[in-house]
Amino acid sequence: MEGTLVAALAASLASMAAFALLAVMFRRGSWLFLLAGRTAREGADEQGVRALGKRMAVVLVVGSALMATLAAYLGAEIARDAAVASVAAMANNAAFLALIASLIWFFVVQRPARPSGGDAPAGRMAARVRAASLAHLHLATILFVIALIGVIAVVGVLAAL
Protein backbone atom coordinates (compact mmCIF):
# COMPACT_ATOMS: atom_id res chain seq x y z
CA MET A 1 0.00 0.00 0.00
CA GLU A 2 2.73 2.47 0.98
CA GLY A 3 4.80 1.57 -2.07
CA THR A 4 1.90 2.30 -4.40
CA LEU A 5 1.28 5.65 -2.70
CA VAL A 6 4.94 6.59 -2.99
CA ALA A 7 4.98 5.57 -6.68
CA ALA A 8 1.81 7.60 -7.31
CA LEU A 9 3.33 10.56 -5.46
CA ALA A 10 6.49 10.36 -7.57
CA ALA A 11 4.44 10.07 -10.78
CA SER A 12 2.26 13.04 -9.86
CA LEU A 13 5.29 15.19 -9.00
CA ALA A 14 7.04 14.19 -12.24
CA SER A 15 3.97 14.96 -14.34
CA MET A 16 3.48 18.26 -12.49
CA ALA A 17 7.05 19.26 -13.34
CA ALA A 18 6.64 18.14 -16.97
CA PHE A 19 3.39 20.09 -17.37
CA ALA A 20 4.97 23.19 -15.84
CA LEU A 21 8.01 22.91 -18.12
CA LEU A 22 5.80 22.50 -21.19
CA ALA A 23 3.65 25.46 -20.12
CA VAL A 24 6.71 27.70 -19.82
CA MET A 25 8.12 26.57 -23.15
CA PHE A 26 4.80 26.99 -24.98
CA ARG A 27 4.30 30.41 -23.41
CA ARG A 28 7.76 31.47 -24.62
CA GLY A 29 7.00 30.20 -28.12
CA SER A 30 9.36 27.23 -27.97
CA TRP A 31 8.55 23.59 -28.71
CA LEU A 32 5.45 24.62 -30.66
CA PHE A 33 6.08 21.75 -33.08
CA LEU A 34 4.50 19.54 -30.40
CA LEU A 35 1.22 21.41 -30.94
CA ALA A 36 1.30 22.44 -34.58
CA GLY A 37 3.51 19.86 -36.28
CA ARG A 38 5.02 21.01 -39.57
CA THR A 39 3.17 24.33 -39.46
CA ALA A 40 5.37 25.47 -36.57
CA ARG A 41 8.56 24.32 -38.31
CA GLU A 42 7.68 25.96 -41.62
CA GLY A 43 6.84 29.28 -40.00
CA ALA A 44 3.42 29.45 -41.64
CA ASP A 45 0.85 31.29 -39.52
CA GLU A 46 3.42 32.05 -36.83
CA GLN A 47 1.09 34.35 -34.91
CA GLY A 48 -1.67 31.73 -34.83
CA VAL A 49 0.72 29.02 -33.67
CA ARG A 50 2.07 31.28 -30.90
CA ALA A 51 -1.51 31.99 -29.76
CA LEU A 52 -2.16 28.25 -29.76
CA GLY A 53 0.90 27.74 -27.55
CA LYS A 54 -0.19 30.42 -25.09
CA ARG A 55 -3.67 28.90 -24.84
CA MET A 56 -2.25 25.43 -24.29
CA ALA A 57 0.03 26.87 -21.60
CA VAL A 58 -3.09 27.85 -19.65
CA VAL A 59 -4.40 24.28 -19.88
CA LEU A 60 -1.02 22.92 -18.79
CA VAL A 61 -0.86 25.25 -15.77
CA VAL A 62 -4.26 23.94 -14.68
CA GLY A 63 -3.05 20.37 -15.28
CA SER A 64 0.02 21.12 -13.19
CA ALA A 65 -2.22 22.41 -10.40
CA LEU A 66 -4.25 19.20 -10.64
CA MET A 67 -1.10 17.13 -10.20
CA ALA A 68 0.04 19.36 -7.31
CA THR A 69 -3.24 18.84 -5.45
CA LEU A 70 -3.02 15.11 -6.11
CA ALA A 71 0.53 15.12 -4.70
CA ALA A 72 -0.72 16.98 -1.62
CA TYR A 73 -3.46 14.41 -1.16
CA LEU A 74 -1.06 11.49 -1.55
CA GLY A 75 1.42 13.09 0.84
CA ALA A 76 -1.34 13.50 3.41
CA GLU A 77 -2.35 9.86 2.92
CA ILE A 78 1.23 8.73 3.47
CA ALA A 79 1.45 10.91 6.61
CA ARG A 80 -2.00 9.65 7.70
CA ASP A 81 -3.29 13.19 8.18
CA ALA A 82 -7.04 12.96 7.55
CA ALA A 83 -7.72 16.70 7.77
CA VAL A 84 -5.11 17.65 5.18
CA ALA A 85 -6.16 14.71 2.99
CA SER A 86 -9.77 15.93 3.07
CA VAL A 87 -8.83 19.49 2.09
CA ALA A 88 -6.45 18.22 -0.60
CA ALA A 89 -9.14 15.92 -2.00
CA MET A 90 -11.57 18.85 -2.29
CA ALA A 91 -8.86 20.97 -3.92
CA ASN A 92 -8.10 18.11 -6.30
CA ASN A 93 -11.75 17.85 -7.29
CA ALA A 94 -11.86 21.61 -7.92
CA ALA A 95 -8.67 21.40 -9.99
CA PHE A 96 -10.17 18.56 -12.03
CA LEU A 97 -13.25 20.67 -12.79
CA ALA A 98 -10.96 23.57 -13.69
CA LEU A 99 -9.07 21.28 -16.09
CA ILE A 100 -12.31 20.30 -17.81
CA ALA A 101 -13.33 23.96 -18.04
CA SER A 102 -9.93 24.97 -19.43
CA LEU A 103 -10.06 22.23 -22.07
CA ILE A 104 -13.54 23.34 -23.12
CA TRP A 105 -12.30 26.94 -23.24
CA PHE A 106 -9.28 25.87 -25.31
CA PHE A 107 -11.39 24.15 -27.95
CA VAL A 108 -14.06 26.87 -28.03
CA VAL A 109 -11.48 29.64 -28.49
CA GLN A 110 -9.82 27.71 -31.32
CA ARG A 111 -13.05 27.55 -33.34
CA PRO A 112 -13.04 29.56 -36.55
CA ALA A 113 -15.29 32.61 -36.70
CA ARG A 114 -18.70 31.97 -38.18
CA PRO A 115 -19.29 33.69 -41.49
CA SER A 116 -21.95 36.38 -41.37
CA GLY A 117 -25.08 35.99 -43.43
CA GLY A 118 -26.59 32.72 -44.50
CA ASP A 119 -30.14 33.17 -43.25
CA ALA A 120 -31.31 30.07 -45.06
CA PRO A 121 -31.76 27.04 -42.76
CA ALA A 122 -29.34 25.00 -44.86
CA GLY A 123 -26.75 27.79 -44.62
CA ARG A 124 -27.10 27.99 -40.85
CA MET A 125 -26.84 24.23 -40.50
CA ALA A 126 -23.73 24.11 -42.69
CA ALA A 127 -22.16 26.88 -40.58
CA ARG A 128 -22.89 24.92 -37.39
CA VAL A 129 -21.38 21.77 -38.84
CA ARG A 130 -18.25 23.73 -39.89
CA ALA A 131 -17.96 25.32 -36.43
CA ALA A 132 -18.36 21.96 -34.65
CA SER A 133 -15.73 20.28 -36.83
CA LEU A 134 -12.20 19.77 -35.58
CA ALA A 135 -10.77 20.26 -39.08
CA HIS A 136 -9.36 23.66 -38.08
CA LEU A 137 -7.12 22.06 -35.42
CA HIS A 138 -3.73 20.58 -36.13
CA LEU A 139 -3.53 16.82 -35.75
CA ALA A 140 -0.57 17.37 -33.42
CA THR A 141 -2.78 19.50 -31.15
CA ILE A 142 -5.43 16.81 -30.90
CA LEU A 143 -2.80 14.13 -30.22
CA PHE A 144 -1.13 16.35 -27.60
CA VAL A 145 -4.44 16.85 -25.77
CA ILE A 146 -5.12 13.10 -25.88
CA ALA A 147 -1.63 12.44 -24.48
CA LEU A 148 -2.20 15.03 -21.74
CA ILE A 149 -5.47 13.40 -20.74
CA GLY A 150 -3.80 9.98 -20.90
CA VAL A 151 -0.99 11.01 -18.55
CA ILE A 152 -3.52 12.45 -16.10
CA ALA A 153 -5.59 9.26 -16.30
CA VAL A 154 -2.59 6.96 -15.74
CA VAL A 155 -1.40 8.97 -12.73
CA GLY A 156 -4.97 9.06 -11.37
CA VAL A 157 -5.37 5.30 -11.73
CA LEU A 158 -2.00 4.74 -10.06
CA ALA A 159 -3.12 6.97 -7.18
CA ALA A 160 -6.40 5.07 -6.88
CA LEU A 161 -4.71 1.66 -6.51
Query: Is pLDDT above 90 for 152?
Result: yes
Count of domains forming the chain: 1
Pair 75, 30: CB distance under 8 Å: no
Read off the pLDDT of residues 79-108 as tens digits, 9 standing for 90 and up: 999 999 999 999 999 999 999 999 999 988
**Residue 36: pLDDT band with limits 50, 70, 90:** confident
**Residue 44: pLDDT band with limits 50, 70, 90:** low
Question: Who's near 69: CB < 8 A, 6+ residues apart?
Answer: 88, 91, 92, 94, 95
**Residue 75: pLDDT band with limits 50, 70, 90:** very high
The predicted model scores a pTM of 0.83
**Residue 109: pLDDT band with limits 50, 70, 90:** confident
Interval 132-146 mean pLDDT: 79
Interval 6-27 mean pLDDT: 97
User: Domain range for residue 32?
Assistant: 2-160
